[in-house]
Every structure is written in structure tokens, then in C-alpha cells.
Chain A
Amino acid sequence: MTAITGQKDEKRGQTARRRNTLMPSRLTIALFLLPAFLLYTIFMIYPLVQALIFSTFEFNGLVRGAFVGLQNFEQLFTRYPISEQLPRAFVHNVYFFIGTMLIQNTLGLLFAVLLHRPRFGKRFFRVVFTLPYLISPLVVGYLWSLMLNPLFGPVNATLRNLGLGSLARPWLGDPATALPVVILVNAWMWVGFPMLLFGAGLAGIEDDLREAARIDGASNWQIFRWIEFPLLTPVIGIVTVLTFIGNFNAFGIVWALGGVDGTPAGATDVLGLVFFRTAFRGGADAFGLASALAVLMFLFIFTVSVLVQTWFRRLESRMQ
């Protein structure tokens, strides 16, 4: 294997990246950044920052009252029941992230690798696996509630017909299975995303590397483990960060499966739902409270994403 890795290093050395050649002028840099910057700042950041500033004000409906400092933040941790829902939802988000990384992204990587190699019907599989993403989360939620329905659902019926009736359960009505089911359905919907990104990453790996390894007698698994996987590090980084952000903001599919309160008994409650309930179902002072929650979520998600990103960057540069 050392021969291969050695060769790889040499290859990467030749293709040493960016920040060594001519830096474009400041004007050029500014011109490249300007369209995205303007669009994004005016129509997204400006309203968002305004909304975040609301977190330090008292609200009565949509009418802004006095400046209250950190009182809204304090309320989040002292007012029942949000004070109890918040930590519970946070823990669920952590499970959600870990579960998604293990199931959805591993499966996505597996499919990407399998479908990158020449194979009959690979285009068909690629399209089919991405199909669920094209449907609105509302429908996905309805569909799987139906499939897993304890009274009429085909999943339990099939289990009973196979003599596995003891496995039949109210999947979305049992606190023990509800969150895992949400994670699986979410993965069902999203698996095409890591699959396509990993596919695009695999396409960027020069075939010479694989050929050379094959000539050295490396098996498919060895090629994947020692060549493709390390070179996919940047894509793994992207997928990890986006999964993290997506899971901690998850809302649509969880709402469609467990309702706005995260049934059963809060077993599927996540931060996105707590936020939604606070902002749009709360009392008259909801606006300030929801903004405070958004600020906290932002600080947490943003800090962790930057840390994860930095860590992956370091990993990448160590591999060069």
C-alpha cells in the first residue's frame, strides 16, 4: 500500500493548491464577491439581523415594546414548559445528527461508490434513490404515517403475515421507536444528497490513481479505503457540516410525522419544532422569545459548523 500512497502524495504535491500563485487584484476579488454578497446581505442577512435584535425587546403581538436586555433568554430557561422542552429537544437533535451520519451518509457513500463503478442500471438506481427528495416533506410525512399506521398500515400487516406479529408496533406512537423512525424516514428522503455529492467527489479523483493501484493488485475495498476515501475528505467535510446544520434546523419532515408538539409525548420534539411553536403558536410575547431561541440556536450551530470545518481543513492539508 505504501507504494500507492507514496505515489498519491507525489501527485498531490504536483497539484499543490491555491494561495501560491498570482493573487488577483482587490478589485477583481470584490467584483467576484459582489453579486452574491449584495443579494445575500440585503434579502437575507438584513431581515435576519433585525429579527435577531428583537430578542432583546419585549413584544406584544407584532408591536415592539421596551428594551429588556437578556430577559427573553432567561425566560427560555425558566418558563415552564419550554424550560423542560428545550434540553430534551437538544438531546433529540444530537441523536438525529448521529443517526443521520451513521445511516443516511454511510448509505449515501456506499451507493455513490457502488454506482461510480461500471454497473448495469446505475443511472436508474441513481435517479430512483434521489426521487424521494423531489417530493414535498408534507407528502413524505403523510406517506410514511400511512405506511406505519398501527391500524391500517401495510408495514405491520406485512410483519403479521410473515409471522413476525410480535415486531408489529405503533411505530410513530411509541416513544421508543418514534425518533428512530423519523431519522430513517428523513434518511429515505435525503440519501440522494450525500450520494450525489460523493459521486461528484469520486468523479474528481483521477482514474490513473485507481488504475495504478489495480495494477499493484489492490482490491476494490483497498482502492476505496486507501485512495478514494482519503481523497473524499473535503466532500465528507461538506456533507458533515451540511448534515449538522440541516439536522439542527430540521422542521418539515419532523412536523409532518409527529405534529407540531413532537408526538408521542414529545419523543420527536426537536429544536426546529420548539422554535416554530414559540414563534407562531406562542402567546403575545412570542416574538421576542422566538428570536432569543433563534440567537442561541445560531450561536451553537454556527460555532460548531466553523469548528468542524476548520478541523476538516486541517485534515485536508495534513494529507497533502
Chain B
Amino acid sequence: MRALKIPKFTFTGIGTNGLLIVYAAVVLIPMFIVVTNTMRPTREIYREPIGLPSTINFDSYVTAWGEANFSLYFMNSMVITVSSVTLATAAASLAGYILGRYDFRGSRFFSSFFVAGLTLPFRLAIVPLFLLLNSLGLIDNRIGLILVYAATGIPFSVFILSAFFRQLPQELSEAARIDGANEFVIFSRVMLPLVRPALATVAIFQFVPLWNDFFFPLILLRSTDKWTLPVGMTRFFGEFQTDWSTLFAGLVITTLPLVVLFLSATEQIISGLTAGVRK
């Protein structure tokens, strides 16, 4: 580790620390309200939308876990989201690498082709998509959902990864090539480790919306034993009456794995920061 200057005590130091702390409060206070609301009965929430719980109880967590069949849905969510993100990130890093590093004939076309997917409201395609999966026998099939999810992650990931691959210095791959490495080895051994922060960022930003999505599973999955966590949560949303307490508890349970995932992803990002491009 190179010696880095220890920050001196300065007024700008106070200013920036102050800014960071104030903003952290702006983030954490509303979250705190959500968590306290999970410990209050729904009736109390309707009567007083914001307030401290009169008694601490975790009934809503028990209800959410039991009623929403959370242990099963949790596994389904995990399998579906992890597979989709892995598939999309793997495919996108291959494509992003070749598009970012080389200016071959058609590379501009492919770049634009992949970006195009980002700009369309995919919900529009729900009926043709449904018919496609239906004809492939993939309705009510987790693999069908995984393929769709992975496909939706491709444009975003290709877009970001190709930009990060483009930034890497050329001599790294040249050195490897002189050593007789083929393209795939250069990609996987030399280049991929260098874009780890970007990979982690791409993975987490794909993971979160898929983990929280209930639209596609509601349409594409039928059997309740294949449902995911957010689909289970929609059971608490009523037409005129919503069970806020249980809903919030369910949301806390649903969000916790994301926090854990995010912590480990930042681990990646930070180790990426220290590894950096320093040879």
C-alpha cells in the first residue's frame, strides 16, 4: 500500500463530514419509521400513520413468515434471481468485452442493438412474451422466468461493462498475447479481474429490481409453490384494505438478504478499489 496522506483537521473536513452525516440521517430516519411500523398493529397505523409502537411485538413478522409461505418463496426468489443475474452478467461480460475492446465491422451496430433494449417499456411485450413462452412450454416454469429476467439484464450490463473494458490499458492484453494466451484467456484471466468493481455494480443493480419484481412472476408462473417473495407480498395488498403491519414486516424480511448481498458486493468494490489498475 502506498502511503496516503492522512486527512488534516480542517474546516472543509468538518463541512464534508457534516454533509455525509446529515445525508446519512436523511436516509436512515425514514427507514427507521418503516421498521417501527412493523412492530405496530395495522389498526394503530391507520389511526396514527407515524408513531412509536405502544408495545414492542414481532407478531407481524410471524404472520408474514407463516402466511406468505416465506421459507419456500425465499428459496424460489434466491434460485431465480441468482441464476438470472449470473447468466446475464456472464453473457454480458463476454459481449461487453468484445464490443469494448475491438472496433470490428458491425461493432457499432451491436452496441446500439443492445442499448435499444434499455429504451423500450418491456411491459408492453407481456402478451407476445407470454405467447412465446407458452409455445416453448415455459409457462409456469422457473427456467422460463430466469431466461426472461436474464434477457432483461443484458442491455444494461453490456452497456456498462463495454465502457469499463474500453478504459483498460492496451499493454496488459498485449503482454498476455505475447505469452501466447488466446482471447478467452486474456478475457478471463487478465481483463475480467480488472473490472471487478464494475461487475459487482452491474450485478447488484440487476439483482435488486429482479428481487423486488412481482409483475413477471405473477403473469408467467402459475403454481403457488413456484412463487417468489414479492408475489407473496402482493397478498397483503387489498383493494380497499391493506395489512400494513404485515406488509412492512414482509418487506423488511425481503430486503434483508439484499442488504447482506450489498455488503458483500461492496467488499468486492473495495477490494477492486485497492487492486485498481496498479500493475
Q: Classify A-B as touching or not with yes or no (CB < 8 A).
A: yes
Number of residues of chain B lying within 8 A (CB) of chain A: 103
Interface residues of B in 110-134 (CB under 8 A from A): 110, 112, 114-125, 127-129, 132
B160 and A131 contact, CB distance less than 8 A = no
Is B24 a contact partner of A40 (Cβ separation < 8 A)? no
Is A306 within 8 A of B112, CB to CB? yes
B6 at the interface (CB under 8 A from A): yes
Interface size class of A (residues with CB under 8 A): 35 or more
Binds A, one of B56-64, B74-82, B101-109: B101-109
Q: Which residues of B contact A35 (CB under 8 A)?
A: 90-91, 94-95
Consensus secondary structure, chain A interface:
helix
B269 to A199, Cβ gap below 8 A?
A: yes
> A134–B258 contact, CB under 8 A?
yes
Asked whether any CB of chain B lies closer than 8 Å to the CB of A37, the reply is yes
B137-163, CB under 8 A of A: which get 1 and which 0? Answer: 000000000011011101110111001
> Are the CB atoms of B183 and A127 closer together than 8 Å?
no
Contact partner of B48 among A118, A152, A245, CB < 8 A? A152
Return chain A residues, CB-CB under 8 Å to B183: 24, 28, 32
Q: Are B269 and A125 in contact (CB-based, < 8 A)?
A: no
Asked whether A134 and B255 contact (CB < 8 A) given A15-B171, A46-B132, A51-B128, the answer is: yes
In the complex, the chain B residue whose C-beta lies closest to that of A207 is B2
| Bitwise interface map of B from 239 to 279 toward A, beta carbon under 8 Å scored 1, else 0 | 00000000010010011001100110010011011001110
Q: Closest residue of chain A to B3, judged by CB?
A: A211
Q: Is B26 an interface residue (CB 8 A)?
A: yes
* Cβ of B181 to closest chain A Cβ, rounded Å: 12
Residues of B contacting A14 in the complex (Cβ-Cβ under 8 angstroms)? 169, 171
Q: Which of A175-205 contact B (CB under 8 A)?
A: 188, 193, 196-197, 199-201, 203-205
User: Would you call A238 and B163 a contact (CB within 8 A)?
Assistant: yes
* CB contact between B122 and one of A48, A125, A276, A306 (< 8 Å): that residue: A48
Please name the residue on chain B nearest to A140 by beta carbon.
B30
Q: State which residues 81-127 of A face B: CB under 8 Å.
A: 111, 114-119, 121, 123-127
Q: Are A245 and B7 in contact (CB under 8 A)?
A: no
Is B28 an interface residue when CB atoms closer than 8 A count as contact?
Answer: yes
Q: Closest residue to A144 on the B side, CB-wise?
A: B30
Closest to B23 in A: A129
In this assembly, does B164 line the interface, its C-beta being within 8 Å of a C-beta of chain A? yes
A200, B201: Cβ atoms closer than 8 Å: yes
Chain B CB count within 10 A is highest, among A26, A62, A242, A275, for: A242
Bound together, the chains give a CA A229 to CA B224 distance in angstroms of: 51
- A230-276 at interface with B (beta carbon < 8 Å): 234-235, 237-238, 241-242, 245, 248-249, 251, 272, 275-276
User: Which of A21, A28, A204, A309 is within 8 Å of B164, CB to CB?
Assistant: A204
Residues of A within 8 A of B270 (CB): 123
Report if B170 contacts A (CB, 8 A).
Answer: yes
Nearest opposing residue in chain A for B207, CB measure: A134
| Closest B residue, CB atoms, query A38 | B91
- Which one of B6, B124, B152 lies within 8 Å of A290 (CB-CB)? B124
Given contacts A131-B259, A275-B121, contact A36 B158 (CB under 8 A): yes
Scoring B residues 21 to 51 as 1 if CB is less than 8 Å from chain A, else 0, what string do you get?
Answer: 0011011101101100000000000001110
Known: A47-B128, A133-B208. A234 touches B166 (CB 8 A): yes
- CA separation between A288 and B168, bound complex, in Å? 46
Return A188 CB to nearest CB of chain B, in Å: 7
Quick one: given A44-B152, A123-B270, A146-B49, are A204 and B102 in contact (CB under 8 Å)? no
Contact across chains for B132 and A47 when beta carbons are under 8 A apart:
yes
**B7 lies within 8 A of A40 (CB):** no
Who on chain A is nearest to B132 by CB?
A: A47
Identify which of A24, A129, A147 contacts B24 (C-beta below 8 A): A129
Q: Would B173 and A21 count as touching, CB distance under 8 A?
A: yes
Q: Contact: A279 with B123, CB < 8 Å?
A: yes
Known: A188-B26, A203-B273. A21 touches B95 (CB 8 A): no
- Identify 22 residue pairs between A and B in the complex whose beta-carbon atoms are under 8 Å apart, listed by A's number: A14-B169, A23-B102, A32-B187, A35-B91, A40-B114, A46-B128, A51-B124, A119-B17, A124-B24, A131-B27, A131-B28, A131-B262, A135-B34, A135-B251, A143-B30, A196-B201, A200-B272, A203-B276, A294-B121, A305-B115, A305-B118, A305-B119
Which 7 pairs across A and B sit closest by C-beta, in order of nearness? Answer: A43-B151, A15-B169, A36-B95, A200-B197, A47-B128, A47-B125, A19-B103
- A residues adjacent to B (C-beta < 8 A): 14-24, 26, 28-29, 32-33, 35-37, 39-40, 42-48, 50-52, 62, 111, 114-119, 121, 123-137, 139, 143-144, 146-147, 149, 152-154, 188, 193, 196-197, 199-201, 203-207, 211, 214, 234-235, 237-238, 241-242, 245, 248-249, 251, 272, 275-276, 279, 287, 290-291, 294, 297-298, 301-302, 305-306, 309
